[in-house]
A and B are shown apart, each in its own frame.
Chain A
Amino acid sequence: MALSRLSSRSTTLLQPLATTSLLRRRHISTDTTPITVETSLPFTSHLISPPSRAVETSSQELLSFFRDMALMRRMEIAADSLYKAKLIRGFCHLYDGQEAVAIGMEAAITKRDAIITSYRDHCTFLGRGGGLFEAFSELMGRTTGCSKGKGGSMHFYKKDASFYGGHGIVGAQVPLGCGLAFAQKYSKEEAVTFTLYGDGAANQGQLFEALNIAALWDLPAVLVCENNHYGMGTAEWRSAKSPAYFKRGDYVPGLKVDGMDALAVKQACKFAKEHALKNGPIILEMDTYRYHGHSMSDPGSTYRTRDEISGVRQVRDPIDRVRKLIIAHDIATEKELKDMEKEVRKEVDAAVAQAKESPIPEPSELFSNIYVKGFGAEVNFISPLETTLSFGADRKELRATLP
């Protein structure tokens, strides 16, 4: 195809503008004419009638899915390299393979709907509108990070987009998410909260405590189990007597979704939001997969075979699914998509480079944000004693008056 283009270069200019590749892309990326696509699999449901397999989308949406998922994928791969280069320390839990869940969800909801998730939060942050530079800065502990370097990989937040983190304690985010839903109902916001957790967290007692209250009080909570089939190194069949996570709500309806199909995720989330606003909690089980191990300390191959990992990558990769859809619907060519991926790679590399140059926090930041408000007590001075103190390791050397 390339050769024929070269040889007909002189005639290209005479051809209708619509066929030149650059303009064709511009034309398509704003095309919102509905395209209907069937999900890969039908939805399986518990105590509810499932939504239709036919999902409405558009060229614009499919291209944005592709680009955004490619960006997320690139970001996670870059984080892998940075971790190996020891620029990222501590814990680093990567999401590559699971991008469709973040992307499909965003397509179905608004920024007034809240999301709260576990420590595998980098891509969720991006989906909520977070920036690559803020993400990489945070991972590398720089003051330009989304939590000013004070949180780290597991503690990304974006409150203005209703993203409440980023939580390190397995399962804690579920009651917190039900609390967010409580606040939305209390304040009559007509919005819902999506609270994401993994198959490992699905057995946590506090989840059932929160679900009970959410069901009793009709809270607009959507519990989303991102079932990647492994809780750290423990496969689901070894940790759950019943790995049908979408049914574990008992009296709460549930839906099982192909989590590698962004359109299925979108359909399910749209359905769940409508349900939760009227009827209270619902559980979505996203059947998904992570290519990396549990975290960067886990090779991910001691408890599963490399064949399994590469098998999923070949058959179910979320980005490849959208790529095939785009090509099949003649929205863009394979080369155009590859070019898009190259652009994305450049964008990520630029953000990494910029983040690497960013400053580390000032020592005084050790003592900032412990509290919002000072203590309202008049400082009772017996120099050098002050009322509102925090201390460093050697309290006679390093102390701060909290404002």
Chain B
Amino acid sequence: REKMWGILRQRGIDGGGLSLRRTRSASVSARSYAAGSKEMTVRDALNSAIDEEMSADPKVFVMGEEVGQYQGAYKITKGLLEKYGPERVYDTPITEAGFTGIGVGAAYAGLKPVVEFMTFNFSMQAIDHIINSAAKSNYMSAGQINVPIVFRGPNGAAAGVGAQHSQCYAAWYASVPGLKVLAPYSAEDARGLLKAAIRDPDPVVFLENELLYGESFPISEEALDSSFCLPIGKAKIERQGKDVTIVTFSKMVGFALKAAEKLAEEGISAEVINLRSIRPLDRATINASVRKTSRLVTVEEGFPQHGVCAEICASVVEESFSYLDAPVERIAGADVPMPYAANLERLALPQVEDIVRAAKRACYRSK
């Protein structure tokens, strides 16, 4: 087994060997921390969530490319094949349309597939099954055919993977009634939302982020419990503030928190909201916050036109217009296919300084 990990480390699999090292060190160092102060990587959070749900419900099974023998392209499904066997963990050929359709058909019959897309860019090969076969079935059948499936995998930009491997699909999937779309940020988000998604009787699109997989977050005892679940459709206020509301999801939550630190140095108190759920969108939490602060900055990595931010801005303008003291602000990925060159890639994605600048604009502190 050690030899296997050695080989994988040599291959330079992203985060493969690393996660094993990290887990070990986390469990060692946890003993020296104060009680209740554990840390967990997002990768381990996702792995443990799938593991626990498979253990609790024999109808849950995992399907996707390299999820079994390879231990998962990003090691999210590490150890599951060994633990549950080939009748619960299925390695598929590289045929997204085929295996996604098979997953949806299995869900029609009452099983609970967790279908992995190696990245959501490849979900486009199967998008007809996600939208037409899964999302709409409960409605078209007036409740006869429900589809308890989870489509999960990394979404959005990674690092240097170019235009075909960097798109964010949050806006696309979240526009479809019948789907639920979740986007975790922290390890607690990852655990709670994935467990909720697997238990949910409706189709859920679960948008992870490759660059967050290796990040460690503190995790509570409650979140480590196997019954832990987060509600779908509820955003989390990561940081309280009173001057400006910053709304975002996934990796950008980390950037927004850093921006809030910088803004605090300049006397601006930013409230940071982690959406957790793109569909349904927690309009109540967003609007309540804006009614308190009077200013809105929305942030996402995806393309700006018709993005998640556009929907949030529209919602706030419609529902809380008289509370706004400034125009709504959108920070999004550049309106270009993702370039490869590192400097251009950096320009194509939101940075902390972009969020800070937009917040200051909303506060009339800059041009």
The reply to whether B138 and A369 contact each other, CB–CB distance below 8 Å, is yes
**Hey, what's the 0/1 contact readout for B269-284 against A, CB within 8 Å counting as 1?**
0000000010010111
Contact of B107 among A155, A179, A380 (CB under 8 A): A179
Report the minimum CB–CB distance from B99 to chain A (whole Å): 6
Report the minimum CB–CB distance from A380 to chain B (whole Å): 4
The reply to whether B133 and A114 contact each other, CB–CB distance below 8 Å, is no
The reply to whether B231 and A376 contact each other, CB–CB distance below 8 Å, is yes
The reply to whether A151 and B108 contact each other, CB–CB distance below 8 Å, is no
Q: How far is the CA of A272 from the CA of B76 in the complex (A)?
A: 40
Asked whether any CB of chain A lies closer than 8 Å to the CB of B29, the reply is no
The reply to whether B283 and A176 contact each other, CB–CB distance below 8 Å, is no
Contact of A380 among B142, B201, B288, B291 (CB under 8 A): B288
Interface residues of A in 270-290 (CB under 8 A from B): none
The reply to whether A177 and B105 contact each other, CB–CB distance below 8 Å, is yes
Asked whether any CB of chain B lies closer than 8 Å to the CB of A389, the reply is yes
In the assembled complex, which residues on chain B have CB atoms less than 8 Å from the CB atom of A169?
A: 128, 132-133
Interface residues of B in 111-144 (CB under 8 A from A): 111, 128-129, 132-133, 137-144
**Hey, what's the 0/1 contact readout for A194-236 against B, CB within 8 Å counting as 1?**
0000000000011011101100110000000000000000000
Asked whether any CB of chain B lies closer than 8 Å to the CB of A268, the reply is no
Q: How far is the CA of A155 from the CA of B143 in the complex (A)?
A: 12
Knowing A159-B144, A172-B101 touch, does A369 contact B288 (C-beta < 8 A)?
Answer: no
Interface residues of A in 132-172 (CB under 8 A from B): 147-151, 155, 157-159, 164-169, 172
In the assembled complex, which residues on chain B have CB atoms less than 8 Å from the CB atom of A164?
A: 105, 108-109, 145
In the assembled complex, which residues on chain B have CB atoms less than 8 Å from the CB atom of A205?
A: 97
**Stretch with Cβ within 8 A of A (4 or more), from B39-47, B87-95, B150-158, B327-335:** B87-95
The reply to whether A159 and B142 contact each other, CB–CB distance below 8 Å, is no
Report the minimum CB–CB distance from A336 to chain B (whole Å): 38
Asked whether any CB of chain B lies closer than 8 Å to the CB of A385, the reply is yes
Interface residues of A in 304-340 (CB under 8 A from B): none
Q: How many contacts between A and B, using CB within 8 angstroms?
A: 194
Q: How far is the CA of A121 from the CA of B195 in the complex (A)?
A: 37
The reply to whether B95 and A209 contact each other, CB–CB distance below 8 Å, is yes
The reply to whether B111 and A186 contact each other, CB–CB distance below 8 Å, is yes
In the assembled complex, which residues on chain B have CB atoms less than 8 Å from the CB atom of A216?
A: 93
The reply to whether A167 and B233 contact each other, CB–CB distance below 8 Å, is no
Interface residues of A in 351-398 (CB under 8 A from B): 368-373, 375-382, 385-390, 395-396
* Interface residue SS majority, chain A: loop
Report the minimum CB–CB distance from A86 to chain B (whole Å): 22
The reply to whether B177 and A151 contact each other, CB–CB distance below 8 Å, is no
Q: How far is the CA of A208 from the CA of B97 in the complex (A)?
A: 10
The reply to whether A175 and B233 contact each other, CB–CB distance below 8 Å, is no
Q: How far is the CA of A387 from the CA of B180 in the complex (A)?
A: 14
Contact of A165 among B61, B106, B141, B284 (CB under 8 A): B141
The reply to whether A387 and B280 contact each other, CB–CB distance below 8 Å, is yes
The reply to whether B93 and A377 contact each other, CB–CB distance below 8 Å, is no
In the assembled complex, which residues on chain B have CB atoms less than 8 Å from the CB atom of A379?
A: 284
Interface residues in B, total, Cβ within 8 A: 57
Asked whether any CB of chain B lies closer than 8 Å to the CB of A183, the reply is yes
Q: How far is the CA of A47 from the CA of B212 in the complex (A)?
A: 51
Contact of A370 among B110, B138, B144 (CB under 8 A): B138
Nearest CB in chain A to that of B95: its residue: A209
In the assembled complex, which residues on chain A have CB atoms less than 8 Å from the CB atom of B132?
A: 168-169, 172
Q: How far is the CA of A186 from the CA of B110 in the complex (A)?
A: 11
Knowing A147-B144, A172-B132, A175-B97 touch, does A377 contact B282 (C-beta < 8 A)?
Answer: yes
Nearest CB in chain B to that of A211: its residue: B98
The reply to whether A182 and B283 contact each other, CB–CB distance below 8 Å, is no
In the assembled complex, which residues on chain A have CB atoms less than 8 Å from the CB atom of B102?
A: 175-176, 178-179, 182, 210, 213
In the assembled complex, which residues on chain A have CB atoms less than 8 Å from the CB atom of B177?
A: 370, 390
The reply to whether B318 and A396 contact each other, CB–CB distance below 8 Å, is yes
Interface residues of B in 48-93 (CB under 8 A from A): 61, 87, 90, 92-93
The reply to whether A180 and B108 contact each other, CB–CB distance below 8 Å, is yes
The reply to whether B288 and A382 contact each other, CB–CB distance below 8 Å, is yes
Interface residues in A, total, Cβ within 8 A: 63
Asked whether any CB of chain A lies closer than 8 Å to the CB of B354, the reply is no
In the assembled complex, which residues on chain B have CB atoms less than 8 Å from the CB atom of A373?
A: 200-202
The reply to whether A380 and B109 contact each other, CB–CB distance below 8 Å, is no
In the assembled complex, which residues on chain A have CB atoms less than 8 Å from the CB atom of B294?
A: none
In the assembled complex, which residues on chain A have CB atoms less than 8 Å from the CB atom of B283?
A: 385, 387, 389
Asked whether any CB of chain A lies closer than 8 Å to the CB of B225, the reply is no
Asked whether any CB of chain B lies closer than 8 Å to the CB of A174, the reply is yes
Knowing A213-B95, A370-B139, A377-B233 touch, does A385 contact B105 (C-beta < 8 A)?
Answer: no
The reply to whether A372 and B101 contact each other, CB–CB distance below 8 Å, is no
Knowing A147-B141, A175-B98, A376-B196 touch, does A388 contact B280 (C-beta < 8 A)?
Answer: yes
The reply to whether B105 and A183 contact each other, CB–CB distance below 8 Å, is yes
Contact of A371 among B107, B178, B231 (CB under 8 A): B178
Q: How far is the CA of A217 from the CA of B104 in the complex (A)?
A: 17
In the assembled complex, which residues on chain B have CB atoms less than 8 Å from the CB atom of A212?
A: 93, 95, 98
The reply to whether A165 and B145 contact each other, CB–CB distance below 8 Å, is yes
The reply to whether A182 and B133 contact each other, CB–CB distance below 8 Å, is no
In the assembled complex, which residues on chain B have CB atoms less than 8 Å from the CB atom of A186?
A: 61, 87, 106, 111
In the assembled complex, which residues on chain B have CB atoms less than 8 Å from the CB atom of A166?
A: 140
Report the minimum CB–CB distance from B139 to chain A (whole Å): 5
Q: How far is the CA of A174 from the CA of B101 in the complex (A)?
A: 8
Nearest CB in chain B to that of A207: its residue: B98
Contact of B97 among A155, A209, A368, A386 (CB under 8 A): A209
The reply to whether A209 and B98 contact each other, CB–CB distance below 8 Å, is yes
Asked whether any CB of chain B lies closer than 8 Å to the CB of A184, the reply is yes
Asked whether any CB of chain A lies closer than 8 Å to the CB of B100, the reply is yes
The reply to whether B111 and A385 contact each other, CB–CB distance below 8 Å, is no
The reply to whether A375 and B232 contact each other, CB–CB distance below 8 Å, is yes
Interface residues of B in 287-324 (CB under 8 A from A): 287-288, 291, 318-319
The reply to whether A369 and B98 contact each other, CB–CB distance below 8 Å, is no
In the assembled complex, which residues on chain B have CB atoms less than 8 Å from the CB atom of A150?
A: 139-142
In the assembled complex, which residues on chain A have CB atoms less than 8 Å from the CB atom of B61?
A: 186
Report the minimum CB–CB distance from B312 to chain A (whole Å): 13
In the assembled complex, which residues on chain A have CB atoms less than 8 Å from the CB atom of B280?
A: 375, 387-389, 402
Query: Which residues of B approach A to under 8 Å, CB–CB?
Result: 61, 87, 90, 92-93, 95, 97-111, 128-129, 132-133, 137-146, 177-178, 180, 196, 200-202, 231-234, 277, 280, 282-285, 287-288, 291, 318-319
17 more A-B contacts (CB under 8 A) besides A176-B104, A183-B105? Answer: A116-B105, A164-B108, A172-B129, A179-B102, A186-B61, A186-B87, A209-B93, A370-B139, A371-B138, A371-B202, A377-B232, A377-B282, A378-B231, A380-B234, A387-B285, A388-B280, A395-B318
What are 7 residue pairs bridging A and B, where the CB atoms are less than 8 Å apart in the complex?
A157-B141, A159-B141, A209-B99, A210-B98, A213-B92, A369-B142, A382-B288
Which 9 A-B pairs have CB atoms at the shortest separation, nearest pair first? A179-B105, A175-B101, A209-B98, A375-B233, A183-B109, A209-B95, A148-B142, A176-B105, A377-B234
